[in-house]
Copies of this chain bind each other. A is one copy, B any other.
Amino acid sequence: MSVTAAQGFTAAGIAAGIKENGSADLALVVNTGPRSAAAGVFTSNRVKAAPVVWSEQVLKGGAVSAVVLNSGGANACTGPLGFQDTHATAEKAAEVLGHSAGEVAIASTGLIGLRLPMDKLLPGVERAAAELTPHGGEKAAIAIKTTDSVHKTAVVTQDGWTVGGMAKGAGMLAPGLATMLVVLTTDADLPSADLDPALRAATRTTFDRIDSDGCMSTNDTVLLLASGASGIVPETGAFAEAVRTVCADLARQLIGDAEGASKDIRIEVVGAASEDDAVEVGRSIARNNLLKCAIHGEDPNWGRVLSAIGTTSAVFEPDQLNVAINDVWVCKNGSVGEDRELVDMRYREVRITADLAAGTESAVIWANDLTADYVHENSAYSS
C-alpha cells in the first residue's frame, strides 16, 4: 500500500541511527519506470530548508527517479554546510541506485537548526537501497514519522491505475503548506506536464486548507511521481479527482493526529462573495486561540467566531452574520440565535458553519483545538 500501491515503485524504511531512540528514520522511494515523471509543491515559507531548495531544483528537471526522506532532523537553517549534506545524500543515492543525482529528491523533517549526522545517514541510504521491495510502502511511511502517533497512507484505484501515498505531519500545520512530507505515486502513464496541474489543484483545496496551529514550516514537501507502469493514460479529470481524493484523505489524517489535539474542527464558510473571502475567514477562525480553547472546553462560544471574522477584509455586514456550531445556529444576524445549550460537543469532530450572507462561494478549512497537551508537547520538544 502507501507509495508502493501503484505499480512501478519500490520502497524501504529503516532505522539509520539519525534518531537517538533507535526508531525508523530513513525512507527511500524509487520509481522503477518505465517513466520517471514528477511534480512537486513546496512550502511558501521564505526560510526554506536545504532539502527544499535542492528538491525544487530537481523538480525543474521534470524527472524524479528516487526520493530519500529522513526524520530526526529538518536540515533547516544549517547554512552552506547543510546544503552540502543534502547534496551528498543525493549523490550517495544516485551512486547506489545507478541514477543521476539530479533525479533524486530529498525531504527532511525534525528539529530546525541542527546538522544531520551524515556518518549515520549515508550508510543508511545504502542499507535502505538493499531493502527496497515492491511492498515497502508501509515501512517507508513509518520511517518518516516525527511526533506522529500513527503513520498515514491512502490509496485510490480505478480502471487499472492507482494513486497512493504517504504523509507525515502532526504539528506546525498551516496553509502554505502545512508541515508535512507527502509522497504520492501513480502508475498512470502521464508526463510531468500533466502531473503538475493535478497536484497543484489537489493541494490547493486539501493540504493548503488544514491549519493545526497557524505555524508554517520550513520543510513542507509534496511530491507526485508517475511510473507509467500501468500503461494506462487516464482521463485528466478522473486523474485529478483521484489525486485530490488521496490528498484529502491524508490531510484529514494529519488533522486527526495533530499534536495534543482533542478536537478536529471543520470550519465551513458559506455565503461568501468570493472563494478567497471564504478562505480568509476560515483561516482567521482556524487560528483564533481563544476560540480553539473554547472548543477544547466544549463551549459553543460563537462570540469568538464573530470576533475572528471581524478581523478579516472579507465582504460582510456584521449584523447579517450567522454561525452554527454542530448545526445549531447559535448566532443569527450578528446576535444571539438558537439556545447554545442545544449544542452537543462531546465528540471529537466539531463543525462550525459561518454564513457571511454576502454571496454564494464557500470553503472548508480544518483545524484543531488548543490544549494543555499541545503546550506540554511543544514546550519540551527540543529539550
15 A–B contacts, CB within 8 A, in A order: A45-B311, A74-B303, A79-B336, A176-B311, A213-B290, A215-B289, A215-B304, A289-B378, A294-B379, A296-B379, A297-B379, A297-B381, A301-B381, A301-B382, A371-B375
B45 engages A299 (CB within 8 Å): no
Interface membership of A82, Cβ < 8 A? yes
- Chain B residues within an 8 Å CB radius of A316: 46
Stretch of A2-10, A59-67, A100-108, A327-335 that contacts chain B: A327-335
Q: Taking the full assembly, how many copies of this chain does it contain?
A: 2
What's the Cα separation between A113 and B296 when bound, in Å?
Answer: 20
Given A296-B375, A379-B293, also A307-B82 (CB < 8 A): no
Q: Does A204 contact B (CB under 8 A)?
A: no
The chain B residue sitting closest to A310, CB to CB, is B47
Q: Which residues of B contact A318 (CB under 8 A)?
A: 46-48
Considering the complex, give the chain B residue whose CB is closest to the CB of A330.
B113
Mark interface residues in A289-320 (1 if CB within 8 Å of B CB, else 0).
11001101101011110111111100010110
Across-interface contacts of A334 in B (CB, < 8 A):
47, 77, 79
Residues B307 and A45 in contact, CB atoms below 8 Å apart: yes
Q: Is the interface of A mostly helix, strand, loop or mixed?
A: loop
Given contacts A45-B307, A294-B378, 12 further A-B contacts (CB under 8 A): A46-B311, A77-B334, A79-B319, A79-B334, A112-B304, A112-B306, A215-B290, A215-B307, A294-B379, A297-B381, A299-B380, A375-B375
A216 is an interface residue with CB less than 8 A from chain B: yes
Task: Report which of B172, B306, B382 forms a contact with A299, defined as CB distance below 8 A.
Answer: B382
A303–B45 alpha-carbon span in the complex (Å): 13
A78-B318 Cα distance, complex, nearest whole Å: 11
- In Å, the complex CA distance between A301 and B114 comes to 11
Cβ B45 vs Cβ A383 within 8 A: no
Min C-beta distance of A125 to chain B, whole Å: 24
Give A80 Cβ to nearest chain B Cβ, in Å.
8
Do A297 and B383 form a contact, CB below 8 Å, given A310-B46, A319-B79?
yes
Contact A77 B336 (CB under 8 A): yes
- The reply to whether B333 and A382 form a contact with Cβ atoms under 8 Å apart is no
1/0 contact string of A63-95 vs chain B (CB within 8 Å):
000000000001011110010000000000000
Taking the nearest CB of chain B, how far is it from the CB of A209, in angstroms?
A: 17
Whether A77 pairs with B303 at a CB distance below 8 angstroms is yes
> What's the minimum C-beta distance from A299 to chain B, rounded to whole angstroms?
5
Q: Is A376 an interface residue (CB 8 A)?
A: yes
CB distance from A342 to the nearest CB of B (A): 15
